[in-house]
Chain A
């Protein structure tokens, strides 16, 4: 899926998306467009559907799309497998990165990176070349080389897990990164390191969606748009000042924007 895109075309378009799991509706008509170079923030109460939206875009098999479309680089990806979406350039940073005991972090990163490189028609890297590349990327998130020899996320602290997510993002060079509560569980220093990593990786050709509860991440990475979700819908969209307003007034203030269904 390497379409000829114009600079002004969106990277990701979510059109009137409804989805359910176990026959329970979770998303109820979400629309969102992300253009190159844009940073979007999605905020909302716990359980409003933010994480579900990110998982559905990434292709989680537990959710069914009941209506609407997800388009990536102009093509409908509703029926693509998670790995096909990832290879084509969609990255999901997990709120709770999964531990995979017994699988070496280095090997995991190498296999992932090569899957993306293969899609991009780039030469796959052997262990030696990959070590060189990963060494350079480790600098971005100030991670120690020793993390590579451990099992994926096993025994990592909360902050180390989140840094490992950003390391993966740096290696995979996605077109769009959806970062689900990347700031949760981080102390101030770790938050700055992670935010700085995200800023260095993003550029005028990539899009970023930050899912967050707090202004503090948005102080480090200023979004172009802030969306507020409630009950599976985006009920309000504004600029970065909307997040500041939310910080002051709380989510109750946004309840008046909920569309009656």
Chain B
């Protein structure tokens, strides 16, 4: 883990920015997360080491984006490549955050970071150079859909950061795509701030190639009367972690999450979510699906924090899992921490295999076992995929999952 040695000796980055200095300083005290902590205890240490094995690259070799942008209506941005954007139209504007705004916001976030819980973000911000940070300020109405790409190139570790301010009363559809090349590691941190009465349909689709790794962290702050809808899909990674932290800072906000991770071969993909209700009348509806095949390992740990101030919270968290092989493993732990006494909170988990009676029924209609399994899986995937915005018309995700994965 050359990179950790370099962080320890503060030799990792030349011309460090203010943010990099702060984060490196925090990491130097304890450069690795505690493997015994709740958040990291199930993480495969050898795969995690593999994530850190590549040397940091600030270069962004020519990237061929999949699925050409055929719609003139969609704004497409690639972090590290074409971060220059200033789109001011009659009804809306999409502009870059100024350096000052960006630094101020990130510094505020870092100030409350925990070395263990936010290790992924600290590493990301230590390694992200200015050109690999994209900050956007969006306001207005009738905003076109936005696609944002992050990618890691072969034999290197790339760190990309995205910061988005969604100003009052506006709503957007945003699809974030994280792509890992063969033998690569991608560190992606996203900071999303939804101002009052704003709404976002956010899709996060991450997929890799052979031996690609991903540390994906998503931090969302929701102000009152905002609505945050997240549809996410992670597959084809040797090792991937998706950490979601959402804070309803004043309550009176709505969050819907539908996420899925698919593991095959000996892959390990995990999702950690923490939803904080910091005010009354918050709403959460979360479903996380895992599908584990071969000798792979899927992990879900979710926590919902409801302090005394968060009365009348209505939250539900469900973990649904499909285990397709005797050697595959699924760990799931949805949990609630409730102090408030007037709330409606529920959580649950199910683990099952493909339904034998459904399969037999389809087979008695002449449908072969592989086709019947595919039909069943497509219905399992469909609930999540249909929740991912922007992707419907051109990103044939269902086909990708059923035929390529």
A91→B357 CA distance, assembly (Å): 16
Answer whether A103 and B376 are a contact pair too, CB < 8 Å, given A86-B363, A116-B366.
yes
- Complex Cα gap A87–B368 (Å): 10
Residues in chain A near residue B365, CB distance under 8 A: 86, 108, 111-112, 115, 168, 172
Instruction: Assess whether A103 is in contact with B379, with CB atoms less than 8 Å apart.
Output: yes
Question: Which B residues from 349 to 386 make CB contacts under 8 A with A?
Answer: 356-358, 360-369, 371-372, 375-376, 378-380, 382-383
Report the nearest A residue to B382, measured CB to CB.
A102
Contacts of A87 in B (CB 8 A): 366
* CB of A165 to closest CB in B, whole Å: 10
B358, B375, B380, B383: the one contacting A98 at CB < 8 Å is B358
Query: Main SS of the interface on chain B?
Result: helix
Cβ contact of B366, chosen from A62, A115, A151, cutoff 8 A = A115
Contacting residues, chain B, for A112 (C-beta < 8 A): 362, 365-367
B-contacting residues, A140-161, CB 8 Å: 151
Given A97-B361, A111-B371, answer yes or no on A102-B366 (Cβ-Cβ < 8 Å).
no
Q: Is A82 an interface residue (CB 8 A)?
A: yes
Question: How many contacts between A and B, using CB within 8 angstroms?
Answer: 74
Whether the Cβ atoms of B366 and A94 lie closer than 8 Å is no
B364 touches A100 (CB 8 A): no
- How close is A117's CB to chain B, nearest CB, in angstroms? 9
Q: Is the CB of A94 within 8 A of B378?
A: no
Nearest-neighbour CB distance to chain B for A151, whole angstroms, equals: 8
- Residue pair B383, A102 in contact (C-beta under 8 Å): yes
- A83 to chain B: closest residue by CB: B363
0 or 1 for each of B18-44: is its CB under 8 Å from A? (1 = yes): 000000000000000000000000000
Q: Identify which of A91, A100, A116, A119 contacts B358 (C-beta below 8 A).
A: A100
Taken together as a complex, chains A and B put the C-alpha atoms of A102 and B365 apart, in Å, by 17
A101 within 8 A of B: yes
Contact A83 B369 (CB under 8 A): yes
Query: Within the assembled complex, what's the spacing in Å between the Cα atoms of A109 and B361?
Result: 12
A58 to B383, CA, bound (A): 32
| Residues of chain A lying within 8 A (CB to CB) of residue B368 | 81, 83, 115
Q: Are A98 and B357 in contact (CB under 8 A)?
A: yes
A92 within 8 A of B: yes
Q: How far is the CA of A86 from the CA of B369 in the complex (A)?
A: 12
Is there an interface contact between B375 and A100, defined as CB atoms closer than 8 Å? Answer: yes
Is A200 an interface residue when CB atoms closer than 8 A count as contact? no
B380 A108 Cβ-Cβ under 8 A? no
Complex-state Cα separation, A98 to B378, whole angstroms: 17
Task: Report whether A102 and B362 are in contact in the complex, using a CB–CB cutoff of 8 Å.
Answer: no
**A-B contacts, 23 listed (Cβ < 8 Å):** A59-B363, A62-B356, A81-B363, A81-B369, A82-B360, A82-B364, A83-B363, A83-B364, A83-B367, A83-B372, A85-B364, A86-B365, A91-B364, A94-B364, A98-B357, A100-B376, A100-B379, A108-B367, A111-B365, A112-B366, A112-B367, A115-B366, A151-B379
List 4 additional contacts besides A61-B356, A82-B360; criterion CB under 8 Å: A83-B367, A94-B364, A100-B358, A102-B383
Give the top 9 A-B pairs by smallest Cβ distance, nearest first: A102-B379, A115-B366, A112-B365, A82-B363, A98-B361, A86-B366, A87-B366, A83-B363, A92-B364
- What residues make up the interface of B, taking CB atoms closer than 8 Å to A? 356-358, 360-369, 371-372, 375-376, 378-380, 382-383
